[in-house]
Amino acid sequence: MTAVVALSGGIGGAKLALGLDRELAPGALTVVANPGDDFEHLGLTICPDVDTLVYTLAELANPELGWGRRGETWTFMEVLERLGGETWFRLGDGDLAMHVERTRRLAAGEGLAAITAGLASRLGIASRILPATEQRLRTIVETTDGALAFQHYFVRLRCAPVVTGFRFEGAERARAAPGVVEAIDGADAIVVCPSNPFISIDPILAVDDVRAALERRRAPLVVVSPVIGGDAVKGPTAKMFRELGLESSVGEVARHYAGLVDGLVIDEADAALAAELAVPTLVTRTLMRDLDDRRRLARETLDFARSLSGR
Amino acid sequence: MTAVVALSGGIGGAKLALGLDRELAPGALTVVANPGDDFEHLGLTICPDVDTLVYTLAELANPELGWGRRGETWTFMEVLERLGGETWFRLGDGDLAMHVERTRRLAAGEGLAAITAGLASRLGIASRILPATEQRLRTIVETTDGALAFQHYFVRLRCAPVVTGFRFEGAERARAAPGVVEAIDGADAIVVCPSNPFISIDPILAVDDVRAALERRRAPLVVVSPVIGGDAVKGPTAKMFRELGLESSVGEVARHYAGLVDGLVIDEADAALAAELAVPTLVTRTLMRDLDDRRRLARETLDFARSLSGR
């Protein structure tokens, strides 16, 4: 395949994005990142999913934490705590360089897509990582405790409140970031990474012209299920399905993407459910423990997409 | 003495400020810091002399570098360099917490004096450290290579250009920070620390109502000479005197403060010059190698000031 677009949130999605990055020719992959987690904190613009993708593809990601950089130091946080600053969102010393440099360039008038491309390129990444939009789009989690800004729900309250819905503040004014629509229009395959549908992929789909480009696509769109055996590998995906009154299952994942999905990749644990699904399905091992798993799943997903486009 | 005001720049001045802090009753000392070195860098408001005073009085100063914090890490700078950011001004990971927190509070509408007091208090400092002004006042160094922003002259060009004069941009609009005039009015002694007269003390004196308060003072004002045996302990003081066509001597220090100075503290190396000086002089050891030196010089300076107020 000469051009592939992946839609991705953070950790889980980034694993498959790394596999795709390694399996494809340099520059063939464009990863469109979830902008809904972005927020302003301590005067800095922080883009957690973009950064997880950058760190993962640069092989700088922290394998123990699952977020941030490997070999990180924490002096900034220690001193900030001593100074009485806000420390609920952990920022490593090296990670901070990303946020400070991005914030500086934004203030100087550069766009987020160009800044992200520049930073990724400095770190030796051949794939393109693009925020879905350069405008402010913020995920608001509606809960039985009220509406919560995403990072407050996710980090501060550790996903404890019961979810009743989601809003994407600013989505109505958001336009696709430069390069996103062109990448989708020119793609041979579109892969939705195994990310949370509600808080990682829906914010991308909430950008009108991104959604429109996906709807008029000529390439097959393949979703890799984030649900394995009724649960998620990490994070609140399964909990959210249940709190919304839905089953946490590959069937619900397929229904979530109804109208967009051309093929679903599910785990062997869910093989028995494949027959009930209304879309073509690839059954394989979707749990990615190491780089070999990531590359194999990427390869199989691309082959599956190729088989669908041949129809 | 129940109330003492010290005017100070960074490193050299902070040594005596620490001695004064330790010799006086908790809360008796107000240090008025040079605002002329402050600058905006990487989107952060950095106040080098305020911070050196804070770190020194909190006993957190880095003894090897002479600036910044002890036990510092440098991950931020390493990553920033890799990202292609500006690294000529070295910011340690812990030091960064001060700048980020200060910048955040400034953006939230707090004043620099209250912010500085808050941060100093969190670090256990009993003395008050106040910026001379909360308005923007920036030292511009006029050189044979043109006018240079202070940190560019000082850090980037390592004081190499030949100095022809100084300007304090914004001084005409600057007002004394809250607490400065009151501290001077209520002081029993005013000590000018052994800081560079041109770039550390003159920016403080360039604030009209600070200067006016000093001129109407009832307390004696004692200057501790930064020049010892015709040279400065550190920094460009002696070089500046010479480039301005002046002798680098205690006599020129006295002349620089003519109209303000009631007594001069000079080193034994300059004892022979004492008789030529037009102001009362204390000859002692002014080189401060350890905390005992700092406390002894502080004690002797306070005793000297007391003897002058008795006249």
- The confidence score (pLDDT) of residue B232 equals 81
Determine whether B290 is exposed, middle or buried from the number of CB atoms within 10 Å of its CB (0-12, 13-18, 19+): exposed
CA B218 to chain A, closest CA, distance in angstroms equals 37
List of chain B residues whose C-beta atoms are within 8 Å of the C-beta of residue A79: 69, 93-98
Segment B131-182, tens digit of pLDDT: 999 999 999 999 999 999 999 999 889 999 999 999 999 999 999 999 999 9
Determine, yes or no, domain membership for B83. no
Helix-helix angle A93-107:A75-82, to 10 degrees: 80
Count the domains in chain B. 1
Which helix or strand (DSSP H or E) is residue A163 part of? strand A163-169
Determine, yes or no, domain membership for B42. no
Distance CA A100, CA B182 (A): 38
Give the bridge partners for B142, in sequence order: B147, B165
- Inspect the interface and report whether the beta carbons of A98 and B83 lie closer than 8 Å: yes
SS3 assignment, position A41: strand
Determine whether B55 is exposed, middle or buried from the number of CB atoms within 10 Å of its CB (0-12, 13-18, 19+): buried
Distance CA B195, CA B31 (A): 13
Residue with tokens 């897509």: A113
Question: What tokens were used for B58?
Answer: 């909190």
- Inspect the interface and report whether the beta carbons of B94 and A84 lie closer than 8 Å: no
State the pairing for strand pair A221-224/A263-267: parallel
List of chain A residues whose C-beta atoms are within 8 Å of the C-beta of residue B42: 100-101, 104
CA A67 to chain B, closest CA, distance in angstroms equals 16
Nearest CB to A76: which of B84, B93, B107?
Answer: B93
Residue of A nearest to B121 (CA): A83
- Inspect the interface and report whether the beta carbons of A75 and B93 lie closer than 8 Å: yes
- The confidence score (pLDDT) of residue A310 equals 63
Distance CA A170, CA B247 (A): 65
Determine, yes or no, domain membership for B26. yes
Nearest CB to A83: which of B76, B85, B97?
Answer: B97
Asked if A150 and A199 count as a contact pair (C-beta separation under 8 A), the reply is yes
Residue type, B79: V
List of chain B residues whose C-beta atoms are within 8 Å of the C-beta of residue A93: 73, 75-76, 79, 93, 96
Give the bridge partners for B4, in sequence order: B29, B189
Distance CA B112, CA B260 (A): 27
- The torsion region of residue A256 among left (phi > 0), alpha (psi -120 to 50) and beta comes to alpha
- Residues 164-203, chain A, touching B (beta carbon < 8 A): none
Residue A91 has pLDDT above 70, yes or no: yes
Grade residue A65 by pLDDT with cuts at 50, 70 and 90.
confident
Give the bridge partners for B139, in sequence order: B168
Residue of A nearest to B43 (CA): A104
Nearest CB to A96: which of B43, B96, B122?
Answer: B96
Residue with tokens 């109407």: B216
Distance CA B67, CA B74 (A): 14
Distance CA A113, CA A123 (A): 15
List of chain B residues whose C-beta atoms are within 8 Å of the C-beta of residue A96: 76, 79, 93, 96
Grade residue A114 by pLDDT with cuts at 50, 70 and 90.
very high
Instruction: Compute CA A297 distance to the chain's CA centroid, rounded to the nearest angstrom.
Output: 17
Grade residue A24 by pLDDT with cuts at 50, 70 and 90.
very high
DSSP state of B19: H
The residues near A300 (Cβ < 8 Å, ≥ 6 apart) are A265, A282, A284
CA-to-CA dists, residue B13 to A84, B18, B157, B307, angstroms: 27, 9, 23, 22
CA B41 to chain A, closest CA, distance in angstroms equals 9
Determine, yes or no, domain membership for B119. no
- First-to-last C-alpha distance (Å) of chain B: 16
- Inspect the interface and report whether the beta carbons of B97 and A118 lie closer than 8 Å: no
List of chain B residues whose C-beta atoms are within 8 Å of the C-beta of residue A118: 84
Q: Which of A45, A90, A100, A110 to mutate to test the interface with B (most CBs of B within 10 A)?
A: A100
CATH of the domain at A249: 3.40.50.10680
- Residues 29-88, chain B, touching A (beta carbon < 8 A): 42-44, 69, 72-73, 75-80, 82-85
What ipTM goes with this model?
A: 0.90
For chain B, residues with pLDDT lower than 70 are 310-311
Q: CB pairs below 8 Å between A and B: how many?
A: 104
- The confidence score (pLDDT) of residue B310 equals 63
- The confidence score (pLDDT) of residue A239 equals 92
| pTM for the full predicted model | 0.91
Q: Is B102 on the interface with A (CB under 8 A)?
A: no
Alpha-carbon dihedral sign for residues B109, B112, B116, B118 = negative
Residue A307 has pLDDT above 90, yes or no: yes
Residue type, A123: L
Distance CA A51, CA A33 (A): 9
- Residues 4-33, chain B, touching A (beta carbon < 8 A): none
Residue with tokens 């001695």: B19
- The confidence score (pLDDT) of residue A110 equals 97
SS3 assignment, position A279: coil
Residue with tokens 């005001």: B5
The length of chain B, given as a count of residues: 311
Segment A190-240, tens digit of pLDDT: 999 999 999 999 999 999 999 999 999 999 999 999 999 988 878 899 999
Distance CA A142, CA A140 (A): 6
Q: Which of B40, B55, B60, B76 to mutate to test the interface with A (most CBs of A within 10 A)?
A: B76
Residue with tokens 């107000």: B30
Distance CA A206, CA A200 (A): 11
Report the percentage of chain A scoring pLDDT > 70.
Answer: 99
Tell me the three-class secondary structure of A81-146, residue by residue: HHCCCCCCCCCCHHHHHHHHHHHHHHHCCCCHHHHHHHHHHHCCCCCEEEECECCCCEEEEEECCE
- Inspect the interface and report whether the beta carbons of B69 and A76 lie closer than 8 Å: no
- The confidence score (pLDDT) of residue A177 equals 98
Asked if A149 and A39 count as a contact pair (C-beta separation under 8 A), the reply is yes
Residue A88: count of CB within 10 angstroms of its CB: 10
Q: Is B108 on the interface with A (CB under 8 A)?
A: no
- The confidence score (pLDDT) of residue A66 equals 77
Nearest CB to B97: which of A69, A76, A122?
Answer: A76
CA B146 to chain A, closest CA, distance in angstroms equals 26
Instruction: Compute CA B243 distance to the chain's CA centroid, rounded to the nearest angstrom.
Output: 21
Mean pLDDT of chain A: 95
SS3 assignment, position A66: coil
The residues near A152 (Cβ < 8 Å, ≥ 6 apart) are none
What is B208-245 written as a DSSP string?
Answer: HHHHHHHHT-SS-EEEE-SEETTEESSSSHHHHHHHTT
Residue of B nearest to A42 (CA): B104
Tell me the three-class secondary structure of B93-131, residue by residue: HHHHHHHHHHHHHHHCCCCHHHHHHHHHHHCCCCCEEEE
List of chain B residues whose C-beta atoms are within 8 Å of the C-beta of residue A89: none
Range of the domain at A119: 4-309
Residue of B nearest to A122 (CA): B83
- Inspect the interface and report whether the beta carbons of B75 and A75 lie closer than 8 Å: yes
